[in-house]
Structure 1
């Protein structure tokens, strides 16, 4: 009996669903299978769908924590951090600079699995994909030699463009420059609306956010990356007393950690509906913590 040929090819929709469930390392290998797979895996809509699916995985299968020491980038599985007594799989990330790590390196922000990194020794900025090892170095800005600057990193849904924001000190104000990864250029948009000391911006809902001053007299300033205009996010009704407050992002929520000097406690506030003042909710009040350590960002591999 002649051998019957099998033509068991899957429909394109089924192939797409299978590929969406693979980790990035496997997808990179699948690119070499055929031209159709290469085109599919390289498609921006596929990349966005894969990231969205990976980031909502309840088993944290593709999640890693990325943090920086003074001169290194360290990555470890989120599952180990949450559920295991010890973290045995922490690794030092490959150095994209092709030389020894500089003395001072800082994570500016993380967005869609990409990490924006600042080399403080020479003000070099680059966007790094830890999964593919692809690096995009930013061209230097004309304000590169300023004495002090802070940054922010996010994604503009309107133009499908990654943007880096640089706030540079020009006493008594802060100037604002925005770098477009698509255009590969900087442009200046005017002054930051508050003169206070700042830290790097936090990205959420298409905007970067900075906390200025303290919880009683400061502001939460937002910068819409699509419109490239500043705004203000109304704050919660803090308890009485002076304190220092730190702005973070927790999942889909804007988060404020308010440290009260008098009673040595930190209140954790989250904005459950973005832009709605009444949605601020105090999740917890933590007594005398020591939480001001290295910055940690969540990225999906």
Structure 2
């Protein structure tokens, strides 16, 4: 009979689907796979695998095919979803099919001030955080609220003198969330605003200083091969700027015009596992994506399959 530590080492190398099957083999395997420390070890294994093979796992996106729900972010296998109808927010792990309704925020948005969200993992606090930003008016800035998943309690961050033209969710990268916002005193210029999840503070990220650079109308943020990128979302992707060294203005690089024709993008594959009956789409790895969907793909959240539960505290499970 194999020793428990040997079994653990073997199980850690399996993907989530196989691990879920293994929980039915015997009580001891179920107990082992369900333990929080095993979930964290498996997540660490997945992260290391992602780092070593970024083009395979790091470029996998998740997309929700729904007219009444939006994906507001994904981190470590958890996916944040909001309802357009009543602004209810939930977290789910599509791989394990766990589903959790979050508390309502302190201040609710309405049809006149649709919110902007961001979701990600705070490694310093070992916690997941949801950021909700509500426009107060074109020239009046934004009200920001933050939810800690551990406490499931919202707190008011306060007012910032920035606003947003659309409600696209923040791009999660390097422990922070990123949006293209405008200054309430300069509504015609786009700023890259970053919210550090650990420090809980905003800062501005420098943009390229190049006469070819212009994002006044169609510029969007995304992740390309583990780098923050800026791209044009209208029609065919003619331009892509990539920040090679994080937060260094001089490191922005304009990719060659033929980069989009290389097989780096993916088509979408249906997967119906997301509850409650919400169809989601996972991206495959080697097929060129339709160019008409390119802009959507680049800004979709990166997704990896994990055992991480939306219920941080076991006593909150239904």
TMscore range, shorter length: 0.7 to 0.9
Q: Which residue of 2 aligns with 1:45?
A: 40
TM-score by length of 1: 0.74
- Runs (4 or more) in structure 1 with deviation over 6 Å come to none
Please state whether the residue corresponding to 1:218 is helix, strand or coil: strand
Distance 1:160 1:18, change over 3 A: same
SS of the residue 2:303 aligns to: strand
Question: 1:299 deviation in Å?
Answer: 1.5
CA distance in 1, matches of 2:192, 2:47: 28
More helix by share: 2
- TM-score, length-scaled by structure 2: 0.71
Structure 1 window deviating more from structure 2 (277-286 vs 32-41): it is: 32-41
> Equivalent residues in 2 for 1:12-91 (5 A)?
12=5, 14-32=6-24, 33-35=26-28, 38-39=31-32, 41-42=34-35, 43=37, 44-56=39-51, 58=53, 60=56, 65-69=61-65, 71=66
The match for 2:254 is: 282
Task: List alignment gaps of at least 5 residues for structure 2.
Answer: 261-290, 306-318
Return the alpha-carbon distance in structure 2 between the equivalents of residues 142 and 250 of structure 1: 35
Offset of 1:26 from its aligned partner?
1.8
Q: Give the alignment partner of residue 186 of structure 1, picking from 132, 141, 154.
A: 154
Structure 1, gaps ≥5 residues long: 1-7, 72-102
Q: Which has the higher contact order (CA 8 A, sep 6+)?
A: 2
Structure with greater Cα Rg: 1
Change beyond 3 A, Cα 1:276–1:47: same
Aligned to 1:91: none
Match of 1:123 in 2: 87
Give the superposed CA RMSD: 3.1
Q: Specify the alignment match of 1:297 in structure 2.
A: 301
Aligned equivalent of 2:228: 254
Q: Which of 237, 260, 277 in structure 1 is aligned with 2:209?
A: 237
